[in-house]
Amino acid sequence: MAARKSRLLTLSLAILAVSSIPGLARAEPVLRCTVIIDGKTGERVYRDGDCGEAVYPQSTFKLPLAMMGYDAGLLKNEHDPLWAYKPSLNRPERERKDTDPTIWERDSIVWFSQELTRKLGRKRFADYVKTFGYGNRDVSGGPGKTDGLTQAWLMSSLKISPDQQVDFLHRFLTRQLPISQKATELTMAIVPHFQAADGWDVQGKTGSGSMRDAAGKADPKRPIGWFVGWATKGDRRVVFARLLVDTKPYDDTPISYVVRDSLVADLPGLVAKP
């Protein structure tokens, strides 16, 4: 436990550090960003790091997917539908279970996302991404352009920056997306909660994966960790994104969990008013 706390503290300091030595930022291979904006006005509250760099959204894409699913009527409420796991999917042990929308977001079940996009269909899926203005809007997929419907957001063609993440979520929270009020409310209801200090309630979604090397293969030495969402305290709301692309593999704890826990720990201090 002590080692884990020490690692979190080290990561937080690394993510928040401003490169004050001339030339250091250009030579540093680690990509990191924390950006926080006001949930009402969209004005910047805090921004540090390479927040304009776009990478694969990974499982943070389950947020817009939920919006699509509820708006299209494929998802009904927090627990309907309950889709049965099919052994033929051959997913990792943690995903081998029947899944509803709440379980999907909480446990980050990939096959549920892919079943949802299949039911949406290629055109409707692409249209939602386009009208949402999500990242680079490219859902064509990888080489061959045959897997966009089920893989576009998973180390493939779709990319988004931290700045774009908070802009998208701000538009969602302020009802600027072309989806129904019901879809907005139901999406918010299934996003996991995390309690932070000083009375802040944090809702957000993790995402993890890897960058690709020059040959196009996943590089375990370049893991991607995301945590994006919003936090509320009383009548105040902020929207955040934290990204870390590191230069070493994470074997004991998923990098996305480390990024999430560091953001939850750091947020109250970053948004405290003088």
Active site residues: 59
**Any idea what DSSP says for residue 133?**
T
Contacts 24+ apart (CB under 8 A), 84-88: 85/111
Cis peptide before 220 (omega within 30 of 0): no
- The rounded distance, in Å, linking the Cα atoms of 214 and 226 is 23
What DSSP letter does each residue of 8-61 carry, written as one string? HHHHHHHHH----STTHHHH---EEEEEEEETTT--EEEEEE-TT--B--GGGG
| Contact predicate 60/206, CB 8 Å | yes
- The rounded distance, in Å, linking the Cα atoms of 152 and 149 is 6
Residues in a beta bridge with 238: 38, 231
